[in-house]
Structure 1
Amino acid sequence: MHRGPLRAGEWVRLVDQKGRKHNFELVPGKRFFSNKGHLDHDELIGREEGFTVVSSAGGEYLVFRPLLSEFVVSMPRGAAVVYPKDAAQIVAQADIFPGAHVVEAGVGSGALTCSLLRAVGPYGRVTSFERREEFAEVATRNVRQFFGVPEGESHPSWELNLGDLQEELPASGRRCDRVILDMLAPWECVDAAASALLPGGILCAYVATTTQLSRYVETVRAHGGFTEPQAWESLVRDWHVEGLAVRPGHKMIGHTAFLVTARRLAPGARAPRKTRRPAPGAYGPDYTGPRPDGVPADPTE
């Protein structure tokens, strides 16, 4: 990550007096324009971040390098990004640790990849699989931009593969500590993930809808090689604090996706069977997905 004075090619984040934010890449000879006039990029290059600059029309701006959480919501996108609140949950709840080998399916625009690379550190490894070449290209540029990797080079801890994890991961013979699935049909990759995960490893999925959530969880249960899947979502609400005027903010980051984690069991091991019966109607006659062993289509039968 960048340190020292701001350099050409880096992104900066300007915040004005009303809290409005502007993110752009520093290019020698270029100008930034707003309703408060203009700023020359050359005025910013070579200075330590955290200073205030005044535009040609008297507008004041605070200048910093963007944090990762700020960069990912403003970076160029090929696909929807994993929001910072979910990336933080993945890093914490999937227990991404320094030195870990993490396999990621669905690189999207590279937002989650940046968080994973930060978490595994210089001695860890992130192996990503992406089916769509245009997404892989956008993600590569964003990762290179955020970490300051020179053009033509790649992050030393990152390997990006253009292809389908479901097919390529088992064929590669890789073993890993964590598998993160961010894709349309993550249930298709449960077998491949199971074959690669070391005992005790964690499988984590990021799914957007309740139907995806249901099918994925039931597939993991039916596989039999994982602990009971745990599903949740996070909601973030800011607060307005000014003197005695302390109240919840009017806006919040509500539902973005569901997260599901499960741990890989040792070969041949099986988790204790659930003794609690499903709620009536949980597996009705119209349910066509996988079910845990011994659960009938209609629990009233």
Structure 2
Amino acid sequence: MGVRRGPLAYGERVQLTDRKGRLLTVMLTPGGVTQTDRGFLPHEAMVGLPEGSVITSISAKAWHGLHTDAEPDASGPLERDRAKPWKSARAVGGWQYTVMRPRMEDFILSMPRGAQIMYPKDIAQVISLGDIRQGMRVLESGAGSGAMSLGLLDAVGPEGSLTSIEARPEFARVAMGNATVYYGGRPAWWNLLVGDFDTRSVELAEGYFDRIVLDMLDPWNRLDSAYRVVAPGGVITAYITTTTQMSRMVEALRKSGHWTEPEIQETMERSWKADGLAVRPEHQMIGHTGFLVTSRAMAPGQEALHRKIRATKDYTTDIDQMVAGSGGNQDLESLKLRDISDRKLRRVLRDLDREIGTIDRNSTTPEDRGETRG
């Protein structure tokens, strides 16, 4: 289950890329054939080739000529052509593809999924900001389709371990299936548990994990359980998608006293196009997908140090509740945000009055100002 080198073989996933940059990922199987809108690609033609080879599609007629003794089944390309005759008209062949083993990013974006996956840009940031390295013990909540799990498995390697807790059994099956296909076998350093995070985390040893990754709707409700199983100095990283979730997570980390001042990150991804001197960004980009909130665990009995926020602004009181309270307008007045001191405000108004006066003097004639020429 290590790095695959040498000629392509059956049982491997390969990525096909045509001259227009369109991608197609397939699993090589004995007797298999992949149908495209430009012809057929027999898998036997790719087996034995080195990565970086160029293959050419063939027409339906040519494929049938190579398999005159074959009995096409209901899922074969010839039977599908009878059901959809326009595909036969387009399957003219002669279209070239480059064949490679997919990178992890390619595999993640093309693998079967049951739940929405985390984008590769966010996976890379989780591993970097969370300082997840070879040999570490990592706890993950929310395996989903296994995208983040694959990144964590690669980061810790067989010398480390990944424990994932997934609430839905069907998602756990999808995640393990994708990992098995990616590695060519079930990764032995992955312990995938099914069930509720609070329930299953009780079974885990106290202070055992070096890093924790939470990808769930309410990670702030899991901080006590996470603190129990993480080692002092361990890093927790939460992937959350909305600003309200991010705010609740940050405030919960601060309030608990067990975690250092949280850091918040967001990553944007934009590709560029270079064609001679025509160099410009692509029209589409991957913008906001989620926030990453990271923090570190304090030693038992130690209170986290947090930056003091100046009390000139009230960030926490609900305005609707204050207006509805007995204080009425007086309560609302107390909530007004004072971004500027009274002294500074007087200075600003004085300077503006002086500048306005200068404008008035320059915009009138001497006669308007009562001045006469000598």
TM norm. shorter chain > 0.5:
yes
Q: C-alpha distance in 2, partners of 1:73/1:8?
A: 22
CA deviations on 1:179-214 (whole Å, 9 max, x unpaired) are 000011111111111111111100000001111111
Q: C-alpha distance in 2, partners of 1:44/1:109?
A: 28
Counterpart of 1:67 in structure 2 is 103
Q: C-alpha distance in 1, partners of 2:160/2:117?
A: 23
- Counterpart of 1:42, as a letter, is E
- Counterpart of 2:163, as a letter, is T
Structure (1 or 2) with the larger CA radius of gyration: 2
Give, in angstroms, the shift of residue 286 of structure 1: 5.7
Give, in angstroms, the shift of residue 272 of structure 1: 2.3
Number of aligned residue pairs: 288
1:117-156 matched pairs, under 5 angstroms? 117-149=153-185, 154-156=186-188
CA distance 1:203–1:192, change in 2 (3 Å): same
Give, in angstroms, the shift of residue 278 of structure 1: 6.0
Would you say the 8 A contact 1:240–1:247 is kept in 2?
Answer: yes
Match of 2:38 among 36, 39, 62: 36
CA deviations on 1:119-175 (whole Å, 9 max, x unpaired) are 1012000000000001000001000011111xxxx3111000001222221332251
Give, in angstroms, the shift of residue 257 of structure 1: 0.6
Q: Would you say 1:166 and 2:168 are equivalent positions?
A: no
Counterpart of 2:150 in structure 1 is 114
- Secondary structure, counterpart of 2:15 in structure 1: strand
Counterpart of 2:229 in structure 1 is 196
Q: C-alpha distance in 1, partners of 2:53/2:305?
A: 59
- Secondary structure, counterpart of 2:111 in structure 1: coil
Counterpart of 1:295 in structure 2 is none
Counterpart of 1:8 in structure 2 is 10
Would you say the 8 A contact 1:166–1:188 is kept in 2?
Answer: no
Would you say the 8 A contact 2:260–2:306 is kept in 1?
Answer: no
CA distance 1:299–1:102, change in 2 (3 Å): farther
Counterpart of 2:367 in structure 1 is none
Give, in angstroms, the shift of residue 52 of structure 1: 0.5
| Worse-superposed segment, 264-273 or 167-176 | 167-176
CA distance 1:287–1:26, change in 2 (3 Å): farther
Match of 2:140 among 83, 91, 104: 104
- Secondary structure, counterpart of 2:180 in structure 1: helix
Q: C-alpha distance in 1, partners of 2:203/2:335?
A: 40
Would you say the 8 A contact 1:283–1:299 is kept in 2?
Answer: no
- Secondary structure, counterpart of 2:109 in structure 1: coil
- Counterpart of 2:227, as a letter, is A
Counterpart of 1:292 in structure 2 is none
CA deviations on 1:22-75 (whole Å, 9 max, x unpaired) are 111111111111121111011112222111101111101000011001111111
Q: Would you say 1:252 and 2:288 are equivalent positions?
A: no
- Counterpart of 2:195, as a letter, is G
Q: C-alpha distance in 2, partners of 1:234/1:16?
A: 29
Q: Report the TM-score, using the length of structure 1 for normalisation.
A: 0.91
Q: C-alpha distance in 1, partners of 2:215/2:240?
A: 7
- Counterpart of 2:103, as a letter, is L
Counterpart of 1:91 in structure 2 is 127
Give, in angstroms, the shift of residue 274 of structure 1: 2.3
Give, in angstroms, the shift of residue 273 of structure 1: 3.8
Would you say the 8 A contact 2:258–2:303 is kept in 1?
Answer: yes
- Counterpart of 2:234, as a letter, is G
Unpaired stretches in structure 2, ≥5 consecutive residues: 59-92, 322-333, 338-374
Report percent identity of matched pairs: 43
Q: C-alpha distance in 1, partners of 2:312/2:121?
A: 32
1:228-247 matched pairs, under 5 angstroms? 228-247=261-280
Give, in angstroms, the shift of residue 275 of structure 1: 1.9
| Worse-superposed segment, 226-235 or 162-171 | 162-171
Counterpart of 2:328 in structure 1 is none
Match of 2:48 among 34, 39, 46: 46
Q: Would you say 1:211 and 2:244 are equivalent positions?
A: yes
CA deviations on 1:68-118 (whole Å, 9 max, x unpaired) are 011111110010111100000001110001000000000000001111011
Q: C-alpha distance in 1, partners of 2:315/2:133?
A: 37
